[in-house]
């Protein structure tokens, strides 16, 4: 699949896919174009889930400091959102 197809499947802008390739996070097969596979999709989804996990942790810290209301409800909602980025058999590492 092309970088545009990869971006659509993961839900990211195409330039993020290109940047991830330049940084060495992804290693697509090279023909005339870069060819991304399912493993690249899963890798980017895991990265997005980790980023969301960091957001959850940051919100939890703010809540523990009393800066926001509804601590349990907010944390639960954020965890549900992070699960949407993963396949049923994947875990946030």
pLDDT tens sequence across 21-33: 888 888 888 877 8
pTM of the model: 0.58
pLDDT at 27: 85
- What's the confidence (pLDDT) of residue 92? 44
> Which DSSP string do the residues of 30-48 spell out, in sequence order?
ESSSEE--HHHHHHHHHHH
The string of pLDDT tens digits covering residues 31-77 is: 778 899 999 999 988 888 888 788 777 777 766 555 555 556 666 66
Question: Is 89's pLDDT higher than 60?
Answer: no
Give the HSE-up count for residue 6: Cα atoms under 13 Å, Cβ half-sphere: 26
Cite the beta strand spans of 1-93 per DSSP E. Answer: 29-30, 34-35
């Amino acid at each position: 699949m092309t970088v545009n197809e990869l971006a659509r499947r993961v839900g990211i802008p195409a330039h993020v896919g290109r940047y991830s390739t330049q940084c060495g996070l992804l290693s697509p097969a090279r023909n005339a174009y870069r060819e991304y596979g399912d493993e690249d999709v899963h890798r980017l989804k895991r990265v997005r889930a980790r980023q969301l996990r960091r957001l959850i942790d940051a919100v939890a810290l703010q809540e523990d400091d009393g800066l926001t209301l509804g601590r349990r409800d907010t944390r639960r909602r954020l965890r549900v959102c992070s699960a949407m980025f993963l396949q049923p058999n994947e875990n946030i590492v």
